[in-house]
Each structure stands twice: as structure tokens, then as C-alpha cells.
Amino acid sequence: MDLIKEHPVLDVGYFKRHARVEFTFDGKHMEGYEGQPIAMALHANGVRVYRETPDMKRTRGFFCAIGKCSSCFMAVDGTPNVRTCVTPLEAGMRVETQRGKGRVAINPPAGE
Amino acid sequence: MNENEMLFSSGVLTGERKGAVSPPESLWNDKKGGLVVVECPQRIPCNPCNTSCPVGAIKTFADINDTPEIDYSKCTGCAICAAVCPGLACFVIDLSFSPDKALYKLPYEMLPVPSKGDSVDCLGRTGEVLAKGTVEAVTEPKRDRTHVVHVSAPKELARDIRAIRVVK
Amino acid sequence: MMKETTTDILVIGGGAAGLSAAAEASSSGAKVTVVESDLHLGGQLVKQTHKFFGSKDEYAGTRGYKIADILLDEIKQNEKNVDVMTNTTITGYYIEDGMFTAMRGEESYIRIKPKKTIVATGAQERLIPFPNNDIPGVYGAGAVQTLMNVYGVTPGHRVLMIGAGNIGLIVSYQLMQAGVEVAAVVEAMPKVGGYWVHAAKIRRMGVPILLRHSIKEALGDRVIDGAVIMELDDKFAPTGAERKIDCDVICLAVGLTPTTEILSQAGCDMRYVPQLCGFVALRDRTMRTSNPDFWSAGDATGIEEASAAMVEGRIAGLCAARSLGLPVKSDRFDEYWSRLDHLRAGEVGEKIRAGVAKVMRDRWED
């Protein structure tokens, strides 16, 4: 894991690291800290590519970390375009590389 | 722009200027405990060196943006300013340490923290290794993770050594 | 039905300026709601491991992340007056009925109708164009700080820093503290833009600061594995001299721009002021905008140091509370302004002084 183990100024306890939880990234089991943004957990696991753009198939990843740039959009538990840099990690989350614009499952209203 | 000016503009002191002058030799050579050397040549809003000095050796600023001026007759070389300065721009150099070595009291905020007796690299203002030094003491005056490392190293480098690197 | 709440003063942004505004306003008895888009309060303060400049009044000599704790403790003293919503982003303001909409997390929406509003939304990072600047490994400097100093995740192994303003210099130093190598800092200008002492700190640790240099392109197929930097002449044109740098992270510290969308939505008079780094609201000395119910403070009013943001937040908090008819210690107003004037008096403050002069108005007509 790419984690800072010691720091000259900050106590390691200062880092927001709560209970360790498991989640999956594209089906692979990974570990992270509950409540930390999903993007940070992925970065600590060495994952750099979070999505691919619709037309040019350019890779995108972590960038602004304040939920503003859309670079880190991923599909989380089936919901696309989740801002992973500001969305807290939960145990059992299913995180997937987003390819293209993402699809939202829409249930048509009854009767149509 | 000449080479020296360009070097200065990148954060390297290339000679004395206001806010970055050495103590007068006459006072410095035999001063037990050493004297402060401040390298703060830019007018910025900052005054903890003055407000933290226990003996008033760093003169009171008329304007908080003033560069520091020192009353060397008062400085005891206690190195509180070295521990407090947010810019890590205060150093204490004790030329009376031994016939051939000076004691350099340098602020340090990296890892690993050295221990007494360790041999460390003494660095100049561009990180160049100038000499090996021996750690004589490590203090943390404000208990705030800024250490002041006391290193003995050749006296003739008093105008050049400004940092250490711990090589383990 | 969407949840609707009301409050005396809505503070948008829980960073240096917003927390100071909330502390000040709540201490005079105003009911304050702080809305913060991040998962926790503190803004940029919580990532700063270096000691702050300024005077004792701005906590000089105290590390930034400790200053966040001091402000949070102060707010706690009036906690019955302060409501905090984190992970909540203001999505719009409806001037017809004075209503804000906000998103909590990704799925839940609320409405907030305050009497008064203080916009302390801070800033966002600028980009510079170069080939491959979009692929993973090119990170904003604030993002790198969040990753390493808030969550303790190593951003990479070897970093090329673009920009030698205070942020580029400070983040370079912080990277070294986190055990990450800094290959070099490149800066297009002929001198560092940040404090000289911050530059000296990393220079003496052996980091080159290459003035009159910029990045030509990032290298890598799916992720960054290097960069080409180029030398510039005094007209910022490439001289032809180039060099490859091995790195897995390219950190952009090329400036910030104020976050002001809400102020525009509120109909505040805005101006583009280069010295303040973008569009900002015109204001009077109370930090009130041309919309009499809106104040602004901190980087949202122009890019400056956190120490100044904290003082502006105090002024806005004080004056917004006063506008509600609450008893405030009015002598503080002059004290805060004298502190701001001192902070801006030096050579680095010259730009700010010129910028503020362009947007400062006499008291707005009632």
C-alpha cells in the first residue's frame, strides 16, 4: 500500500484512517479505510486510472480532490458519475472503472 | 539578469544584503554559545523571531514587514528563533566551539531525526555536501516538531553550512 | 418533499475564512449554518504542516493544521449557535425568493433560506495547457496535499513541481517531509513568486528551482512516466533547450482562481481583477457585496494568504451579525482592518493592494 508510515510533523494518528474495510475495484478485492474518499483508497492501492473518456478513450484519474473537475468519476454500486474524491468509502462497495458517459438505470413508470 | 541575481531569485543567498547579514567578526569569534545568523532578505509580514526572542536581541519591528535587525550584544545563541521562525531562516553558529570546528545549530523538520554522535552530511545553500559533521545535541525547544540539530563541523564553512542531511 | 431549513447567517465554505466568519458571528449570538462540500471542516488549513507567518494575532509560528483546531475549538464555545453540514455542496441560489439549494452526498437535496449569507468558497486551481496534461499523474497541488497530509497516502515516488509560488514551494517541502523525492520545481518567471524563505528551504535540501522554465509535455501512455521541460527566454518563448525529467507525478501549482459562482447568481457586481486572480465581487469595507444580504471573505474575494483570509472572515462575520441588529464589539472592526493593512504592507502584498483598490467601494447605498 502506498501509505505514509511516519512523518516528521504529523502523528500518523492525524491521518483520517478509520476501520479497515474491504471493497472491490473492477472485481478485484481491495482494502481501504472506511469514510476516506474512494479515490484516496484506490490511490493507496496503486490504482491510477479511474475512467476512460467517451470518444478519445483518454485515461482519467485523481485530479482536483474537491469534487469539482469530474476527472475521478466512476461507477459505484452501479451508479455512474460518482465523484470518488469526495464520496466516502463504505464496506463492500463495488467500484468500477467508468467507460464513456455511464448509464443510469431508469425504471419506466408503471403503465408505460 | 546576471547569474548571481538569478541564483538569488531562486532562493539562494549570494552575498550579504539587508535582512541577511553575518555578525561582526569581532563579536562572533569568541562568543560562547554563538550568535544568530538570519537569512531573511525579503519584506514579508512576519515577526515571530522578534516576539519569541527571550533577550530582545532581534529588534522590534516598526512594521511587521520589516526585515530583521539584530543587536548582537544581546544574543545568547539560545536558538529559540531557529526553532520558531516559520521560514527556517534563523541559524546559530558558535565559532568558539573548538579550535578548528564551529557548532552549527540548525532547524530541522525532516526524517529521520538524528541522535547525538551521528555523522551527518552538512549542506550548503543549494544542497551541496560541504563536509561531514557530528551531531552534538538535538533539541526541540517548542515541542512542536521543529528540531534544532547541533552539529560540529569545520569552522571555515561558517558562512556556508545551512542544513544537514541524515544518511542512514 | 425536499427538506427546508432556515438560519440567521449561512456561511458557505468551512475553511480559513468561513470558520473565522462563523466563529465571529456565532459569538455575537447569531445562528450560523456552515455548509462545507468536503467531508470535514478546515479547508486548506488542515493540510498545512508549515508554520504560519504574520503576527501573533494570525497565529504566526503555529502550524496551519493546528490553527484549524484553534478555530474549531472557538466555534465549539458557541456550539448551540452553529450548525455544520459537511459533504454538502451549494448547487444554486434563487434570487427571486432568496433560496439556496444544496446537495448532501451524491443523492440527497435540501433547501436553505438564510437571512444573510457569507460566501467563503475559497478558490480552485488553474491549469496550464500542455500535451498529456489530462492523464493520471498530473495532479493539482491542493489534491496532492489532501492525499498525503489528510489521508496519509503517498502521491508518488518522484514529483515534478510546476510553479514556484508559495503553494508550489510549500508543497515541495511537504512532499519531502512525506518521503517523496522532488525532481525539480520549474517556474516561467525570472524569480520565485512565493516567499524567498520558502524557496531557500527546499534549495538547501538540494531541490533545483529552474527559473525561466516550463513544462513542454507530459510523457506516458495511460499514466505519467516522465516530462519534458523547456527553457524560456525573457519573452517566455522557448529557447530550444529541453530536458527529460523522470517522474510519476506532475504537480500543478500554477495559481488559483476565486470560486464565485454563487456571488454571480446573487447578482453581486463582479469585476475581473488580474491581481486578485479572477472575477471577484465589489465590496465595501464590511466585506459586503452589492447585494445587501451577501458578504464575502477569503480567497473567494481574491487569492491571498490564509492569514488574510482569517481576518476577512472575522470582518464579514462581525458585520453580517451587526446587520441583524445583534450587539457586536464594534471596536474590533478597526482592529481587524489594521491587521489586514499590516499583512498587506510588504513587497508580496503589493499585488493585493493594487487589486483591492479596484474593487473597494464606499458604503453601499441602502
Chain C: give the shortest CA distance to residue A80, in Å.
11
Q: Round the CA-based radius of gyration of chain A to a whole number and report it.
A: 16
Does domain C131-250 sit in CATH 3.50.50.60? yes
Minimum CA–CA partner of B145 in chain A: A9
Contacts of B62 in chain C (CB under 8 A): none
CA distances from C85 to A65, A80, C14 (A): 19, 25, 9
Q: Residue C32: is its pLDDT beyond 70? A: yes
Does C365 score more than 80 pLDDT?
no
Share of chain A above pLDDT 90, in %: 88
Q: Dump pLDDT digits (tens) for B102-155.
A: 999 999 999 999 999 999 999 999 999 999 999 999 999 999 999 999 999 999
Task: State whether C148 and A4 contact (CB < 8 Å).
Answer: yes
Q: And the C-alpha cell for C259?
A: 470560486
Look up the ipTM and state it.
0.98
pLDDT of residue C301: 98
pLDDT at position C1, please? 60
Q: CB atoms < 10 A from the CB of B55, how many?
A: 12
pLDDT band at C106 (very low <50, low <70, confident <90, very high): confident
Of C268, C272, C299, whose CA–CA distance to C283 is shortest? C268
Contact C203 B126 (CB under 8 A): yes
Neighbours of chain B (3+ CB pairs under 8 A): A, C
Chain B hits for C207, Cβ within 8 Å: 127
Distance (Å, rounded) from C-alpha B50 to C-alpha B68? 8
CA distance B101 to chain C (A): 21
C345 → closest Cβ in B45, B109, B127: B45
Which residues in C322-355 are b (16+ Cβ under 10 Å) and which e? bbbebebeeeebeebeebbebbbbbebbebbeeb
Distance from CA of C327 to the nearest CA of A (A): 36
pLDDT attached to residue A111: 47
Residue C230 C-alpha cell reads as: 523547456
Helix axis angle, C16-27 to C64-76, nearest 10°: 20
C-alpha cell at C212: 525561466
CA of C364 to nearest chain A CA: how many angstroms apart?
33
CATH topology agreement for domains C3-124+256-359 and C131-250: yes
Contacts of A44 in chain C (CB under 8 A): 151, 153-154
Q: Which residues of chain B have a CB within 8 Å of the CB of A8?
A: 109-111, 113, 145
Query: The CATH number of A19-99 is which of 3.20.20.70, 3.20.20.60, 3.10.20.440, 3.30.43.10?
Result: 3.10.20.440
Q: Taking 90 as the threshold, does the pLDDT of residue A84 lie above it?
A: yes
Which pLDDT score is estimated for A108? 58
Min distance B16 CA to chain A CA atoms (Å): 32
Predicted pLDDT at C366:
45
What are B22-32's pLDDT values in tens digits?
999 999 999 99
- Distance, in Å, from the CA atom of C303 to the CA atom of A47, rounded to the nearest integer, reads 33
Q: Which of C153, C177, C221, C248 best tests the A interface by mutation, with the highest count of A CBs <10 A?
A: C153
Strands B129-139, C3-12: pairing is unpaired
Q: What is the pLDDT of residue C346?
A: 84
User: Which residue in chain A has the smallest CA separation from B112?
Assistant: A8
Whether residue B111 and residue A9 make contact (CB cut-off 8 A), yes or no, is no
CA–CA separation, B104 vs C104, rounded Å?
A: 54
Q: Taking 80 as the threshold, does the pLDDT of residue C110 lie above it?
A: yes
State chain C's mean pLDDT as an integer: 96
CA B78 to each of CA A76, B97, B146: distance values in angstroms, whole numbers, following the listed order: 57, 14, 15
Q: How far is CA B127 from CA A5, A57, B23, C247, C251, in A?
A: 26, 43, 23, 20, 22
Using a CB-CB cut-off of 8 Å, the residues of chain B touching C202 are 11
Q: Please tell me if residue A13 touches chain B, with a CB cutoff of 8 Å.
A: no
Strands C249-252 and C138-140: parallel
Neighboring chain B residues of A6 at a CB cutoff of 8 Å: 111
SS (H, E, C) chain B: CCHHHHHHHCCCCCCCECCECCCCHHHHCCCCCCEEEECCCCCCCECHHHHHCCCCCECCCCCCCCCCCECCCCCCCCCHHHHHCCCCCEEEEECCCCCCEEEEEEEECCCCCCCCCCEEEEECCCCCEEEEEEEEEEECCCCCCCEEEEEEEEHHHCCCCCEEECCC
Cell output for A90: 463504505
Q: Who contacts C102 (Cβ-Cβ below 8 Å, separation ≥6)?
A: C35, C85, C88, C89, C90, C91, C109, C110, C111, C112
In the block, which residue shows the cell 445587501?
Answer: C292
B contacts of C203 (beta carbons < 8 Å)? 10-12, 125-127
| pLDDT score recorded for residue C15 | 98
**CATH topology assigned to domain C3-124+256-359:** FAD/NAD(P)-binding domain (3.50.50)
- pLDDT for A103 equals 82
The vertex-A58 CA angle with A52 and A64, nearest 5°, equals: 75
Chain-centre distance for alpha carbon A100: 16
Output the CA torsion sign for B147, B152, B158, B161: negative
Please answer yes or no on whether C135 and A63 come within 8 Å at the CB atom: no
Chains adjacent to C (≥3 CB pairs closer than 8 angstroms) = A, B
* A43:C65 CB<8 A: no
**Which residues does chain A have within 8 Å of residue B143's beta carbon, measured at their own beta carbons?**
none
Residue C347 contacts B where some CB pair is shorter than 8 Å:
yes
Residue C297 CB-density burial (10 A; 0-12 exposed, 13-18 middle, 19+ buried): buried
Cell of B114: 538524528
> Nearest CB to C151: which of A15, A59, A69?
A15
Q: Given an 8 Å threshold on Cβ–Cβ distance, is B109 in contact with A8?
A: yes
For the whole model, what pTM was predicted? 0.95
Cβ neighbours, 10 Å, residue C366: 4
Using only the alpha carbons of chain B, give its radius of gyration: 15
Domain ranges for chain B, please list them: 3-165
**Residue given cell 471493497 in the structure block:** A23
A30, A45 contact by CB (below 8 A): yes
Average pLDDT value for residue range C43-48: 96
pLDDT per residue over A32-67, tens digit each? 999 999 999 999 999 999 999 999 999 999 999 999
Phi-psi region of C86 (alpha: psi -120 to 50; beta: other; left: phi over 0): beta
| Residues of chain C positioned with their CB less than 8 A from the CB of A16 | 40, 150-152
